[in-house]
Amino acid sequence: MQIVRAISRVEQALTTNWTSHDQEPISTTIGSLSTAITSHAFDRVRSELRIGSDIADAPALNDWLTGPRVTGALPGPRSADMLARQARRESNPRTYPRDLPIAIDEAAGCWVRDVDGNVFIDFLTGAGVLSLGHGHRELVQVAAEQLAKLSYGAEFPTPARDAFTEAQLSMLPAGMRDRMKIHFCGPTGKYAVDAAIRLCKTATGRDDIVAFQGGLHGSSYAPMAASGLVEEKSPVSNVVPGMHFFPFAHCSRCLLGLHPDTCSTSCATYVERSLKDARSGTPLPGAVIMEVVPGEDGVVPATVEFVRRTREVTRELGIPLVVDEVPTGCGRTGTWFAFEQYGIEPDVIVASLAMGGIGAPVAIIIYDSSLDVWHPERTPEPSAEDQLAFAAGTAAVNIIRRDHLLDNACLRGAQVARLLAPLEFNPWVREVRGRGLMWGVELADPVTGLPAGGLGRAVQAAALHRGLILECGGREDCVVRMLPPLNVTAQIVDIACRILVAVIEELSPLS
């Protein structure tokens, strides 16, 4: 405000007779402008210091937690060296380092420092793996203690495994706690998706699976077969037969070409009628698998009506409903699991990513005991477990409860919505949408309506140059996504959203 006032005084002086007695001399006005600018700079430094002190869990790193800071081109020279070595020696599939060309040196809370000394706000946080940010002090301590005590316990009960199971079941809605069981599947989400499919096929004796268009369930065979990604899976397509794809409730890009105001959730009608019609071409499936808020497809919360009606028809027909909560679980959308916001109870929940607290690998399915018909000795994955993940995952649950971080996710989410609201007036922004701390800005050509993937990537790159790490998703990467940790502060959300809005406004072509 001081700067604006001083500038307007300079303008006024220049357009009037500034030598008259009732006007202050222009030199005084210019002097007050420079004072205002200097004091603004100090304010900024002060506010940056405040941001730094908010990162209670990284005292040792506070010297560099003074706000995003990028000097020079990206990648910097050291990052460029490491990226080149990586490209020479590692396999082609490396998405993040291609889109975000930095080599990471260290990280704390929301902050990441690359090997060239650039400091970024990390709103990718390991693709949502680090729900309490990088290096949370209490989690690091718990993990270190567990490592010294016991790192691997095969399938034997251990205090860490026991506490983790208890913690996970305790986070379920009350009505589900006593009837659900946990199966430990392996290190990452795809193992849990695979286990869910095997479980449901075994329990129902039926082979076919219904999945939804646009969905992503992982890169191993069955999860990939259940994913909508035509191009990615084309080299290995049809390896798992019997997958059937139905349209998802993606209202802003409806595959049935309908408008939400007039369609009465026709995608749900399509699911109901197809599953009941003996001539639909889809046999009664062993499972219906869905994400209620598909993340990789660009943060697309399904409508409540769609999810509820899918639950009703699957229950009526005795089809297990699998809800894949890999990206949405552990509080990401403001409730422990996203399905809770839809008032449904699935038969199987798939979860991983943030479950291990500090990124320690663990994937689980939580399922209705009635499905537990697996032969005790003919089920794989006996070695799938990690005591570190159990210990850190349990501690994360306790911290999320103690620090009311689901509330923080909702509050900060509302703040994101407020700060991104001006984007609704940008013709290139088709939609800003999110739940809790999972947000996406969908960009589309205002004339053709086609996904503006090039703009999405350009926004991601420009934001990186301003010190903000973001993710892209959706069709052709036209959705710029943010996944801040659940303990993010208001100040950091404020800085990050302002960077994002500024970059989108600057890069959107004039139309």
Ligand X SMILES: Cc1ncc(COP(=O)(O)O)c(C=O)c1O
Interaction site with ligand X (CB under 6 A)? 188-190, 193, 216-219, 291, 295-296, 324, 326-327, 352
Residue (199 or 216) nearer to ligand X, CB: 216
Distance of closest approach, residue 367 Cβ to ligand X, in angstroms? 16
Q: Show the DSSP H helices in 264-354 as ranges.
A: 266-276, 304-317
> Which residue lies nearer to ligand X by CB, 48 or 476?
476
Strand pairing category for 321-324 and 111-114:
unpaired
φ, ψ of residue 495 to 5 degrees: the values are: -60, -45
CB of 326 to ligand X, least distance (A): 4
CB of 275 to ligand X, least distance (A): 22
Chain mean position to CA 272 = 30
Q: Which of 146, 352 has the CB closer to ligand X?
A: 352
Q: Is the peptide bond before 75 cis (omega within 30 degrees of 0)?
A: yes
The CA distance from 47 to 253, in Å, is: 40
Q: Output the smallest distance, CB 480 to ligand X, in A.
A: 17
Q: Is 321 helix (H, G, I), strand (E, B) or coil?
A: strand
Q: How far is the CB of 15 from ligand X (least distance, A)?
A: 58
Instruction: Give strand pairing partners of 480.
Output: 441, 472
Q: Which is nearer to ligand X, 219 or 282 (CB)?
A: 219
Q: How far is the CB of 324 from ligand X (least distance, A)?
A: 4
Q: Which is nearer to ligand X, 67 or 214 (CB)?
A: 214
Tell me whether residue 362 or residue 486 sits nearer to ligand X (CB atom).
Answer: 362
- Biggest CA–CA distance in the chain, Å, is 97
Least distance to ligand X, CB of residue 178, Å: 27
Distances (CA, A) of 2 to 11, 33, 34, 44, 446: 14, 8, 10, 13, 38
* Separation between Cα atoms, residue 91 and residue 33, nearest integer Å: 55
> Closer to ligand X at the Cβ: 70 or 348?
348
Tell me whether residue 201 or residue 217 sits nearer to ligand X (CB atom). Answer: 217
CB of 199 to ligand X, least distance (A): 15
Residue 319, H or E segment: none
Q: How far apart are CA 46 and CA 357, in angstroms?
A: 32
Residue of minimal Cβ distance to ligand X: 189
Instruction: Decide whether 190 or 309 has the Cβ nearer to ligand X.
Output: 190
Q: Which is nearer to ligand X, 191 or 428 (CB)?
A: 191
C-alpha distance from residue 193 to each of 8, 216, 314 (Å): 61, 10, 18
**CA separation for the pair 268, 436 (Å, rounded):** 25
What are the beta bridge partners of residue 444? Answer: 451
Helices (H), 329-480: 387-402, 405-420, 453-465
Q: How far is the CB of 362 from ligand X (least distance, A)?
A: 11
Looking at the Cβ atoms of 193 and 365, the one nearer to ligand X is 193
Q: How far is the CB of 190 from ligand X (least distance, A)?
A: 3
**CA pair distance 185, 167, nearest whole angstrom:** 17
Give the integer Cα–Cα distance in Å for 24 and 26: 6
Burial of 242 (0-12, 13-18, 19+ CB in 10 A): middle
Amino acid at the residue 307: V
Q: How far is the CB of 211 from ligand X (least distance, A)?
A: 11
3-class SS at 134? strand
Centroid of chain to Cα 400? 17
Q: Which residue has the tokens 């219906």?
A: 288
